[in-house]
Structure 1
Amino acid sequence: MDDLEAEFNIFPSGLNVDSSGSSEDERIPRKIKSPILLHASPASARSKESGFHKSSRLCLKAIRDAMLRHHWQEAAQYLSAYSQTLEETTVSKQSVACEIIWRLGTEILQHHPNSQLDDFNVLYEQMKNSGVKNYAKICLEHSFHLLLSGNINDAKRQLSVAASWRYGKQSVRQSLDLKLIHAYCGFLDYFIWCMKKSSMSTDEDCSSNREMHSYFRQASVTLQEVITQPGVWDPFVLSYVDMLEFYNDQDEALKVLQNYAYNKDYPSNPNAHVYLYQFLKRHEAPPAKLISTLKVLHHLVPSHELMLEYCSLLLTSEVQEDLEESLTVVFNLLDYPSWKYDLNTWNCLLKVMTIFKTKGLQHLIDKEWEKRKDLWLSMHFRECHGRKESEENTELLLVKAKVAKRLGQHGRSYNKFNTEVWGRCNVKEKKQQVCKKRSKKKPNSI
């Protein structure tokens, strides 16, 4: 990447360098030196560059300017000329040029209005033959593009070639690339398995189909080997679990998800606990298991959208500690701006506070309120909030007013907008109740 920065010739802002290497402000004394880009080409080296290198540098600058202006056809023409740098005799410069053409070429073709699949294939094949160090990564990216185009067999062929590729002494980087390619080979087998499953008619028994089972064995062996290694393997774990559930192997699927969520060798991953919770919920696990799973998720991401479900589960629990935890959970949610205007969250808080008041646990509400009193008064209960909600969302305003009253904030300026709105809503609610009573009394029309 450092070589790429040098190749792009990026200079510090405010420094105007001409072709001779001198700056306009060179004679002006400066107390503070300008920032220096570590890998920028020095001016002395610039004066010694050949005509070929100078043309390549200017051509690359023209490509960059055309891309910034979204002139993709012009950028493609310049890139065609810049491809002559692949004939560079220096190995390091040739490798850098190959990576530049690969990255810029794919970006230009993605946006070019007349680009076709053959153009991508030509570019990828040319880059594979020129930059052997990036061969595996280019094959992987090529397979992704083929998948987007619906060429599944060609994509699988690219992955198979990349998986068997070796170049010199295998480095750590190459081993990581090959591990990822191996994982996507299994994922592609799972994708083909899904297509076979969806193409089967309802009368056929999918579980006994030999072709489907063959792809299942290939995918399961590969995916199982991949996900047993510590890492973040979300799509691969989900695909493996999907196949296990299809063949009614729930015990193995649960074991896989639990290992993915609780194994200390794996990186901390909130998604792992989400997948485990969704699996337990699908198979109607006891509420205690659901609560224990979401408890870990709450510790990792207290603002997660599943926290409302977690709060509901805690309210149904008979354990006193779970009930007390529900108040903390919903208070934590409203500490985040993303939940600031969510009506369901405020209704949940009001419900929890009502239950706590009936059970004589008002002191716990006061305790939580004292922790975040200053934050909430400025975040939720300012005068501007009341004015905005009275115009845009009166239902939210009324729920927040009830919460503020329970919190002992009914004398603050936020609530002065509630009186008129409250009266209008009460009248409307009474009219609705009267209409419901009258509709019940009327006999059914024939």
Structure 2
Amino acid sequence: MDDIETELNIAAARSDSPEDKDRNQEQIKPAVLLHQSQPDPRGSFTAIGFLKSNRKCLKLIREAMLRHNWQEAARYFSSYIQTLEAGTQPQVRSAACEITWRLGTEILRHLPNSSLDDFNAFYEQLKNFGVRNYSKICLEHCFHLMLNGQMDEAKRQLSIADSWRFGKQSNAQSMTKKLIRSYCGYLDYLIWNEKKTSALGSEEECANREMHSYFRQASVTLKEIVGQPGVWDPFVLSYIHMLEFYKDDDVALQVLENYAYNKEFPLNPNAHVYLYQFLKRHKVPQAKLIGSLRILHSLVPSHELMLELCSLLLHTKQMSDLEEALAVSMDLLEFSSWKCSIKAWKCLLNIMKKLKIKKYINTVRKEWNVRRSLWLSLHYRSYIARRDSLQNVQLLVIKRDILRFTGENNIDYFKITLRVERASKLKPDRLGEKREKMATMKSKKKEKKTLSD
């Protein structure tokens, strides 16, 4: 919004060159102008007046939107649209198309009485303003229709966008076409998913045939898309869901492995997550699961699946895997999002206990010495212990036990932990003392009553 003058090329309209003066005298058709400029002797508005009117209108729209006065913003916006329709300068209309698109959709989303018909009419109007954004506007229109459950109309909009051509095919246009093509397949998948739920409850051949036709359309398109380098997470998941439904697990595994391991594709941790989840669903050997998670660990050592990797490594009963589990769990706890996770600390404590049972406690101390300076400042400061003593005593005790395995003599931390343990032990004793006193008082009162009787 701050660069409106630049986007509308208003600075060019202020030029004083003879050519620009002749161009600025270009006649503008009468319209609903908020800033009425002085007409020329022939009684028509100049190009400068037209641009000033647009500038004034955009400022009023911005102020109304900042105050969340959406009704007022809508009134100014309708005037702005009329000024664009009245203008004869194609450059101004093309530059203003992006602004009109952003402002109009935002205002419509916040208007309380806006309906789906209003959105449809607005999107159709936008398509006539700037042909360069035609495909993108069709795609956004499709998203809006999908959210409102109008799948057939959304499919029609995507088909129109897919067949749209403008000028020479640029790189930007080809990327947009590829995205539109991928959403055509995704929409076929959504329709297939709806048909699947209805067809499973009925025995009609017609319903099954219609469902299978949508599967063929979606699978052809999605197979083409996910085979090209890129990040295609929702489309890959849709394609895998259909392949698993039809028991085509070999093709599904091939697609996921290509998506995860193909060097032409960009690095994508989600690809390895999807592959691991697929392997886990199909109960493959542990070695394959561990191999998949090891690659994920190299990309995202703070991923929540690292706890599953530690669990898998503990079950192999090999010393090297146990040492790896120790390193993976300590890597996890070096990220701030895991500092207070009981699961992660319990996992580390369990690994250390197993290493002690197997008489490999030196492995723990060796790993600790490498990380000592970081861990003392990150986990074992006095203020952290005091905070844990107030918020999470269980975490405090687990961290104390881990510190003992490392052989570290952190006196301040142990003092705070000891004080908390003593306090927790004294509380039930004090309650017991109070109960005993109350019981003795009651018994004495009963004795006095019996003696008086």
TM-score with structure 2 setting the length: 0.83
Give unmatched runs, 5+ long, in structure 1: 11-38, 430-446
Distance 2:315 2:131 in 1: 61
Separation of aligned partners in 1, 2:92 and 2:370: 60
Q: Secondary structure at the match of 1:318?
A: coil
Distance 1:358 1:99, change over 3 A: same
Partner amino acid for 1:371?
V
Name the CA distance, whole Å, in 1 between partners of 2:204 and 2:401. 57
Identity, % of aligned pairs?
56
The question of whether the paired residues in 1 share the 8 Å contact of 2:195 and 2:211 is answered with yes
Note closer, same or farther for the CA distance 1:253–1:54 as it changes in structure 2 (3 Å cut).
Answer: same
State how far apart, in whole Å, the 1-side matches of 2:204 and 2:324 are: 47
TM-superposed CA distance for 1:410, in Å, is 4.1
Letter in 2 for 1:69: R
Aligned-partner Cα distance in 2 for 1:152–1:293: 37
2:69 aligned residue:
71
Deviations, residues 128-158 of structure 1 (Å, cap 9, x unaligned): 1121111110000000000111111110110
- Cα deviation for residue 91 of structure 1 reads 2.4
**Larger of the two Rg values belongs to structure:** 2
RMSD value over aligned CA atoms? 2.6
The structure 2 residue matched to 1:80, chosen from 75, 78, 87, is 78
Q: C-alpha displacement at 1:372, in angstroms?
A: 2.2
Give the length in aligned residue pairs. Answer: 399
Deviation string for 1:86-112 (max 9, x for gaps)? 443332221111111111100111111
1:407 and 2:420 matched: no
Q: Structure 1 residues 40, 290: closer, same or farther in 2, change over 3 A?
A: farther
Closer, same or farther: CA 407–427 of 1 in aligned 2, 3 Å: farther
Structure 1 residue 422: Cα displacement? 2.7
Question: Which residue in the other structure is 1:377 paired with?
Answer: 376
Q: Could you say if the C-alpha distance between residues 367 and 428 of structure 1 is closer, same or farther in structure 2, counting changes exceeding 3 Å?
A: farther
Partner SS state of residue 285, structure 1: coil
Q: Distance in 2 between matches of 1:67 and 1:206?
A: 54
Q: Corresponding residue for 1:348?
A: 347
Q: Who is 1:97 aligned against?
A: 96
1:318: how far off? 3.4
Partners of 1:187 and 1:193 lie apart in 2 by 10
The one-letter code matched in structure 2 to 1:7 is I
Q: Distance in 2 between matches of 1:264 and 1:411?
A: 48
Cα shift readout 1:29-62 (whole Å, capped 9, x = no counterpart): xxxxxxxxxx994896599972221121111112
- Give distance in 1, aligned partners of 2:12 and 2:385: 61
Deviation at 1:208, TM superposition (A): 9.1
Aligned match for 2:59, one of 58, 61, 77: 61
Instruction: Judge which range, 402-411 or 42-51, deviates more.
Output: 42-51
Matched-pair contact (CA < 8 Å) for 1:8–1:60: no
Letter in 2 for 1:184: Y
Moved more, 404-413 or 72-81: 404-413
2:340 maps to amino acid = Y
Q: Trace 1:152-301 onto structure 2 (pairs within 5 A).
A: 152-202=151-201, 204=203, 209-301=208-300
How far does residue 350 in structure 1 lie from its aligned partner after superposition?
Answer: 0.5
Residue 34 of structure 1 is matched in structure 2 by none
> How far apart, in 2, do the equivalents of 1:132 and 1:207 lie?
41
Unaligned runs of 5+ in 2: 25-46, 429-453
> For the Cα contact (< 8 Å) 1:346–1:400, is it kept in 2?
yes
| AA partner of residue 232 (structure 1) | V
Does the 8 Å contact 1:59/1:78 carry over to 2?
yes
Q: Is the 8 A contact 1:386 1:415 kept in 2?
A: no
Q: Is the 8 A contact 1:87 1:94 kept in 2?
A: no
Superposed displacement of residue 424, structure 1 = 5.8
**Counterpart in the other structure of 1:29:** none
AA at the equivalent of 2:61? I
Matching residue of 2:433 = none
Return the letter of the residue paired with 2:4.
Answer: E
The one-letter amino acid of 1:77's match is R
